[in-house]
Amino acid sequence: MIITLLGGAGFMGAGIVRDLVSDRTIIDITAIRLCDASREKMEALANELGDPRITLVDLDVTNAAALNAAIAGADICINCVPTLLGFQMTIFEAALAARVAYMDLGGLGTYTVKQLAEHERFRVAGVTAVIGCGADPGMSNVICRAVADELDEIDRINLYWAAELVGDENPVLVPPYSVSTVLAEYAHPSTQFYDGRHVECPPMSGSEFLDLPEPWGRCEFMHSPHSEQLTVPLADGIREKGIKEFSWKLHLPHREHEAWVGLVKAGFGDFDEPVEIGGVRVKPLDVLNKVIERNIRKNAGRIPAQDSHEIHLAIGRGRKDGIERTVRVEVTVSPDPLYAPYVDACTSMNASIAAQLILAHPKKAGVYAPESYFDVATYFPELEKRKFRITTTVE
């Protein structure tokens, strides 16, 4: 099988490649087209991994002919180009035109509704597209499916993600993922599902505290833009069970949380509109990215070793056989040597899982969110293979 990765030398793309060339794969991969604008990063990754199936493709996604050539003939196109760069629909349409299965990492729900609206075109063309296939969204959607499968009637499902860093305080701000994504999560309003309908909620609203096991402890969560709440409550097998509430909430480590709040207060949340400096118009996001990158580079020696812990938790309330039930499904990710080469093992490994499951089983034509495409029985064993711990409790 031939796999095309667009943005394949970035943090997430590189992680997907690492997992695809590991001994965890369940499909026969004959070629991996590593497509990126940075030749330097592609060569560094290819040299490190030393897998002959990796071929390098210099790609400018604004070049339609080059984009089409990179996708043509592949069995799947994995789009790792950051959503907020604005190329997601272009790549999505290019995969349809080439009749190549498509998946992306989704994220903030920026294009989710537009993509789902194209379901019939993809179905008629016989092309599969699964959108939002990382950890959150992606794995988180499948966790919600696991909760829904335990209930005959659903009142609500609430989805949470929390990160915690254990170790000495870091004097350097190191983003957990792309700066634009973090700022959007803090600065932009979000769509949640309350009282049986989608509603817009202000940035950083919906404050809620949960007591979680160590090392998380007592965590404050807030609404943020994401795609899960746009799809899960409308999914077959969930919608008809009467769900009236679905929310997605985020918790970042306390000191990092304060830093992002401060940047938003300073105006960096408005990162699209340029500012003029000395007669030159620049985007605040571009300036912030360069400053953060420089600071990390200059102060690399001051960055302490920290262990990152994640918890992905869905809590559903409803009834089973007429009896009130609360269902909790959580996936915890704790430090392990397996994750050492990865920037974000959970996101990139889950994207690899999704791509492999799409290719390993008969495809369904159309555009789907993960909770409508994958089944828990085949997905969860792949998580366990990668040392993600799954806990399900029904009370």
- At 353 the pLDDT is 98
Do 79 and 147 belong together in one domain? no
Q: Tell me the one-letter amino acid at 127.
A: V
Distances (CA, A) of 76 to 104, 136, 337: 11, 21, 29
Do 73 and 189 belong together in one domain? no
- pLDDT tens for 266-279 read 999 998 889 999 99
227 DSSP assignment: S
Percent of the chain topping pLDDT 90:
92
Give pTM, 2 decimals. Answer: 0.94
- At 388 the pLDDT is 98
Instruction: State the residue for tokens 């983003």.
Output: 175
Do 317 and 171 belong together in one domain? yes
Do 156 and 248 belong together in one domain? yes
In a domain, 296, yes or no: no
170 DSSP assignment: P
- pLDDT tens for 345-368 read 999 999 999 999 999 999 999 999
Torsion of CA 145, 82, 130, 43, to 10 degrees: -110
Q: Residue 362 — φ and ψ, nearest 5°?
A: -55, 135
Do 156 and 107 belong together in one domain? no
Q: Which of 380, 350, 371 is CA-nearest to residue 116? A: 371
Do 19 and 146 belong together in one domain? no
User: Cα–Cα distance between 20 and 83 in angstroms, integer?
Assistant: 22
User: Does residue 234 surpass a pLDDT of 70?
Assistant: yes
User: Cα–Cα distance between 122 and 97 in angstroms, integer?
Assistant: 10
In a domain, 280, yes or no: no
Residues 6+ apart with CB under 8 A from 215: 164, 166, 309
User: Cα–Cα distance between 88 and 92 in angstroms, integer?
Assistant: 6
- At 82 the pLDDT is 83
Instruction: State the residue for tokens 């497509």.
Output: 35
Q: What is the mean pLDDT of the chain?
A: 95
Q: Which domain CATH number covers 307?
A: 3.30.360.10
Do 237 and 326 belong together in one domain? yes
Q: Residue 37 — φ and ψ, nearest 5°?
A: -80, -15
In a domain, 272, yes or no: no
- At 219 the pLDDT is 96
Query: pLDDT-derived band of residue 170, with 50, 70 and 90 as boundaries?
Result: very high
> Residue range 20-43: average pLDDT?
96
Do 46 and 164 belong together in one domain? no
Q: Is the peptide bond before 137 cis (omega within 30 degrees of 0)?
A: yes
Do 64 and 129 belong together in one domain? yes
What's the Rg (C-alpha) of the chain? 21
User: Does residue 227 surpass a pLDDT of 80?
Assistant: yes
Do 244 and 314 belong together in one domain? yes
Percent of the chain topping pLDDT 70:
100
Q: Tell me the one-letter amino acid at 188.
A: H
Q: Which of 201, 203, 228 is CA-nearest to residue 107? A: 228
- At 160 the pLDDT is 98
Do 21 and 58 belong together in one domain? yes
Do 193 and 314 belong together in one domain? yes
The three-class DSSP label of residue 85 is helix
In a domain, 287, yes or no: no
In a domain, 169, yes or no: yes
- At 96 the pLDDT is 98
User: Cα–Cα distance between 309 and 332 in angstroms, integer?
Assistant: 7
> Residue range 289-310: average pLDDT?
94
- At 381 the pLDDT is 98
Residue 219 sits in which domain range? Answer: 139-267+303-341+387-394
- At 382 the pLDDT is 98
- pLDDT tens for 139-152 read 999 999 999 999 99
In a domain, 286, yes or no: no
User: Cα–Cα distance between 200 and 189 in angstroms, integer?
Assistant: 7
Of 255 and 97, the structure prediction assigns the larger pLDDT to 97
User: Cα–Cα distance between 270 and 276 in angstroms, integer?
Assistant: 14
- At 107 the pLDDT is 65
Q: Which domain CATH number covers 7?
A: 3.40.50.720
Contact by Cβ (8 Å): 245, 223:
no
In a domain, 101, yes or no: yes
The number of CA neighbours under 13 Å toward the Cβ of 207 is 2
In a domain, 324, yes or no: yes
Give the total number of structural domains in the chain: 2
